[in-house]
Amino acid sequence: MKEVVSNLYVCSQKDLENHVFDEEKCSFVLAAKNPFHKNAVGYTGKSCDKNHPEYLIARRGNKLILNMVDAPYSIYFDKGTIDTALEFIEEELGKGKTVYVVCNAGQSRSASLVLLYLIKQGIIQGETLEDCEVEFLRLYPDYNPGKGIRDFVKENFELYKYNLPF
């Protein structure tokens, strides 16, 4: 678990399990199908029913829970889901909360969401994604995105950099 900027952390599932949080002062983006989304929505099979109202996103109090796997192709990452996560981070930080962005290993999905948030906010700037990644690695050396999420970030970099609608 590492604080990347004031009150914004990237965490692994293990960090989440091994730390006691003041639930009134914290909010969480849980960016992993298993166990977070699966447990929150309550499906027992391999995947959530695509017709379920919480198929991509579930909200439980101070937790935003994403049906997100570290897939090998960018097509498996839903921009609306990513945008909702970035808006949630912004809103919760604006309320003075500490926000923990969590995935299984704390290196790919959670780190990429935080990177996109920092790019969108103009906290990290660069002409290219690679420039921004160099800067982000100074803040979060464990950043190690999977191919699919990295490709998603690269394909959508300018939309986030310039805050363009999709």
Taking residues 58-69, what's their average pLDDT? 97
* Percentage helix, strand, coil for the chain under 3-state DSSP, each rounded to 5: 45, 15, 40
**Mean pLDDT over residues 125-139, rounded?**
97
pLDDT, position 23: 87
Structural contact between residues 66 and 37, judged by C-beta atoms closer than 8 angstroms? yes
In this prediction, residue 164 carries a pLDDT of: 73
Radius of gyration of the chain (CA): 15
Give the Cα-Cα-Cα angle 68, 71, 74 (nearest 5 degrees). 95
Per-residue pLDDT, averaged over 138-164, amounts to 96
Work out the average pLDDT over 27-47.
96
Go through the chain and tell me how many residues it has. 166
Mean of per-residue pLDDT scores for the chain:
96
Answer yes or no: is pLDDT of 165 > 70.
no
Q: Taking the model in full, what pTM does it have?
A: 0.97
Q: How far apart are CA 144 and CA 62, in angstroms?
A: 27
Closest CA to 28 of 108, 105, 114: 114
2-5: strand order across its sheet? 2-5, 8-12, 98-103, 26-31, 63-66, 57-60
Domains in the chain: ranges and CATH: 2-161 (3.90.190.10)
Average pLDDT of span 72-100: 97
